[in-house]
Structure 1
Amino acid sequence: MQTSFIDGDLLYRQHTFELPLDYNQPQGRRISVFAREVVDLARQDADLPWLVYLQGGPGFPSPRPDSRSGWLKRALQEYRVLLLDQRGTGNSRVISHQTLAHLSAPDQAEYLSHFRADNIVRDAEAIRESLGVKQWAILGQSFGGFCSLTYLSFYPHSLSRAYLTGGVPSLSRHADDVYQATYQRVLDKNNAFFTQFPQAQEQCRKIADFLLNNDVRLPNGQRFTVEQFQMIGINLGRSHANLPMYYLLEDAFVTASGQETLSYSFLNAMLAEQSYQTNPIYAILHESIYCQQSASNWSAHRVRDSYPQFHYASGKPFLFTGEMVFPWMFDQFACLTPLKDAAAILATKQDWPALYDIEALAENTVPVTCAVYAEDMYVEMDYSLETLRGIPNSKAWITNEYEHNGLRQDGETILNKLIEMGNAIANLPRE
């Protein structure tokens, strides 16, 4: 199914594809997958190469552009762009506590097991074939970069170029290794924030102690806890995050009926920070992106005990956490509690299939260019470089000019750099 509209000088085409839930059973259950094509209106009928955008997450839809700007502006100079709503997100058949409510926990877990990078890539391949495209380029941001290496592992002949931003994973390390590194990066970001705003440490302890001693409810009726408050530290890995974080904290309290309490505006902002509520794939399958023939067993939760300073107690320094999933979230978050048993099943699942083919990547011929952020709080730089050393025809641009969300902050510059690097690789003489 296809519809289209024009906005300014851009043409948008909406595509919906009916694809197998399980590619091992292609005649079985189907799901809808949505993708939005964007092309320069003046060149809508030109034979342009395609670029597929793979969103970060997991569990988030592609961007909804409203202008020719950022990385899209650069891409449209030479590409026809496809914005893929990965299965389970956006206008694809969405996953939420509502849409899974009719299934038992084992059935929820079985269904969700088909929503990792391997099947996202299979969807992209099915869409490529449906559109009659011989090869296309991919741009993977964060988790989209993980998907890109899965694509390069299993369908390299379908790709002309691969551009990765903040998303080069380890190919073989256990989730525990990933979180050991991640907690250290989060410590670094905490230190930088509280060094810049030392008064924020007192305010954070005041908020945390208030939560320990009072039954505080978010606007959705959910009790707000210290652990939930700590999780807004996920923002510290983004560009220019410190000052907005400080502003958010300084207005946390209001006086009502002569008593100081947490303000509704602050609590409403805290609820808005909980994207796990509206995008449950982000919580349920987050650790599985590191799993190949192994279970995560709530890796971030277990590794946290190696960093006891993250366990807040009154009178001790306060620390934020980062992009981590914990089992208690499925007791506390209103939209995750219906999925608690399914999450527990998936956390102990050991037979996750391989996401990467190391031998195939070692024979790579596709130009792969990557923005690797030196101070990335979400993806460990050392692991990224370790991976790239095993992939020929790849090149990393290592920079501390940007944080993990560099593509959103200055996408035109970053994509232009990666395209130029890719052109240089493509023009090198082959041995």
Structure 2
Amino acid sequence: MQTSFIDGDLLYRQHTFEVPLDYSLPQAQTISVFAREVVDLARQNDDLPWLVYFQGGPGFPSPRPDSRSGWLKRALQQYRVLLLDQRGTGNSTVISHQTLAHMSAPEQAEYLSHFRADNIVRDAETIREKLGVKQWATLGQSFGGFCSLTYLSFYPQSLSRAYITGGVPSLTRHADEVYQATYQRVQDKNDAFFAQFPSAQMQCQKIADYLLDNDVRLPNGQRFTVEQFQMIGINLGRSNANVPMYYLLEDAFVEANGKETLSYAFLNAMLAEQSYQTNPIYAILHESIYCQQSASNWSAHRVRNSFPKFNYQKGNTFQFTGEMVYPWMFEQFECLKPLQEAANLLAERTDWADLYDPQALANNTVPVACAVYADDMYVEMQYSLETLKGVPNSKAWITNEYEHNGLRADGERILDKLIQMADGVANLP
């Protein structure tokens, strides 16, 4: 099915494709995958090369652009862009506590096991063939970069270029190694935040102590805990995050009937931070993006014990956590509670398929240009560089000008830089 609309000088075409849930059983159950084509209206009939965008996550839809801006502005100068809603997200067959409610826990786990990068890439490859595109370029942000490496592993002949921002994974390291590194990066971000705003440490302790002493409820009725409060530290890995975080904390309390209590505005903001409620793939499958023939066994939860500063107790220093998921989330978050057993089954799963082919990547001929952020809180720089050493025709732009969300913050410049880098690699003798 295809529909379209025009807004300003851009043409948007909506595409929906039926694809197998399980590519090893192509005649069995199917799901829908949605993608939005964006092209300069004046060039809609031109034979332009394609660029497909892989969103970060996992578990989040592609952007919904309403103008020619950011990285899209640069891409539209030479590409026809396809914004892919990865399976389970956006307008693709959606994963939520509602859509999974009719399944048993083992059925949920089996169903969810088909929503990793390998099948996201298979979907993209199916779409490429259905659109009649010989080759296209990829732009992968964060987890989208992981998808790009999977694509380069299994369908390199389908790619003309691969642009990656903040998303070059380790090909071989276990999730435990990833979290050993990222907990340290989160500690660094905590140190920088509290050095800039020393009074915020006392305010965070005050909030945490209040949560320990009182039954505080979010607007959805869910009890709000210290552990949930710590999770807003995921924002510290984004550019210009410290000041908004401070503003959020400074008016957390309000006086009601002569007593201090956490304000409704603050609690509503805390609920808004919990994207896991509406995008459960992120919580359920996040650790599996590091799993190949091994189980995660709630890696971030186990590794956290090596960093006791993150386990808050009264009288101790308060620390935010980062991009980690924990088993207790499925006991506390209202929309994750129905998925707890399935999440545990997936955490114990050991037969995850390989996501990368190191030998294929070692023979890579596709120009690959990557923005690698030196201060990235989400993706360890050293692991990214370790991977790129084994991928010929790849080039890294190592920079501390941006945080992990550099593509959102200054996408036009970053993509322009990567396009020039890839062209340089392509023109090497």
TM category, shorter: over 0.9
Hey, what's the Cα distance between the residues in 1 that align with 2:329 and 2:159? 39
Aligned to 1:249: 249
Instruction: Render the CA deviation track for 1:330-362: whole Å, top value 9, x for unaligned.
Output: 000000000000000000000000000000000
Say which SS state the counterpart of residue 292 (structure 2) adopts: coil
Paired AA for residue 346 in structure 1? L
1:228 CA displacement: 0.1
Aligned to 1:14: 14
Say which SS state the counterpart of residue 276 (structure 2) adopts: coil
Say which SS state the counterpart of residue 403 (structure 2) adopts: coil
Aligned to 1:85: 85
Paired AA for residue 227 in structure 2? E
- Normalised to the residue count of structure 1, the TM-score between the two structures is 0.99
1:421 aligns with 2:421: yes
Paired AA for residue 385 in structure 2? L
Aligned to 2:332: 332
- What are the equivalent positions in structure 2 for 1:167-246 lying under 5 Å apart? 167-246=167-246
Paired AA for residue 269 in structure 1? A
1:280 CA displacement: 0.1
Paired AA for residue 221 in structure 2? G
Hey, what's the Cα distance between the residues in 1 that align with 2:82 and 2:150? 18
Aligned to 2:394: 394
Aligned to 1:372: 372
1:248 CA displacement: 0.0
Aligned to 1:30: 30
Say which SS state the counterpart of residue 277 (structure 2) adopts: coil
Aligned to 1:156: 156
- What are the equivalent positions in structure 2 for 1:7-156 lying under 5 Å apart? 7-156=7-156
Aligned to 2:279: 279
1:233 CA displacement: 0.1
Aligned to 1:317: 317
Paired AA for residue 415 in structure 1? L
Say which SS state the counterpart of residue 275 (structure 2) adopts: coil
Hey, what's the Cα distance between the residues in 2 that align with 1:324 and 1:218? 21
Paired AA for residue 39 in structure 2? V
Paired AA for residue 118 in structure 2? D
Unaligned runs of 5+ in 1: none
Hey, what's the Cα distance between the residues in 1 that align with 2:147 and 2:201? 38
Paired AA for residue 184 in structure 1? Q
Structure 1 runs of 4+ aligned residues shifted over 2 Å read: none
Aligned to 2:342: 342
Hey, what's the Cα distance between the residues in 1 that align with 2:199 and 2:183? 23
1:15 CA displacement: 0.1
Aligned to 1:404: 404
Paired AA for residue 203 in structure 2? Q
Say which SS state the counterpart of residue 293 (structure 1) adopts: coil
Hey, what's the Cα distance between the residues in 1 that align with 2:276 and 2:171? 26
After superposition, the CA RMSD in angstroms is: 0.2
1:398 CA displacement: 0.2
Aligned to 2:289: 289
Paired AA for residue 283 in structure 2? A
Instruction: Render the CA deviation track for 1:114-151: whole Å, top value 9, x for unaligned.
Output: 00000000000000000000000000000000000000
Instruction: Render the CA deviation track for 1:399-431: whole Å, top value 9, x for unaligned.
Output: 0000000000000000000000000000001xx
1:82 CA displacement: 0.0
Instruction: Render the CA deviation track for 1:249-303: whole Å, top value 9, x for unaligned.
Output: 0010000011100000000000000011100000000000000000000000000
Hey, what's the Cα distance between the residues in 1 that align with 2:63 and 2:137? 18
Instruction: Render the CA deviation track for 1:14-42: whole Å, top value 9, x for unaligned.
Output: 00000000000000000000000000000
Hey, what's the Cα distance between the residues in 2 that align with 1:165 and 1:133? 24
1:351 aligns with 2:378: no
Say which SS state the counterpart of residue 83 (structure 1) adopts: strand
Paired AA for residue 106 in structure 1? P
Paired AA for residue 410 in structure 1? D
- Normalised to the residue count of structure 2, the TM-score between the two structures is 1.00
Hey, what's the Cα distance between the residues in 2 that align with 1:154 and 1:324? 28
Percent identity, aligned pairs only?
83
Paired AA for residue 80 in structure 1? R
Paired AA for residue 136 in structure 1? W
1:368 CA displacement: 0.2
Q: In the comparison of the two structures, how many residue pairs are matched?
A: 429
Hey, what's the Cα distance between the residues in 2 that align with 1:20 and 1:340? 26
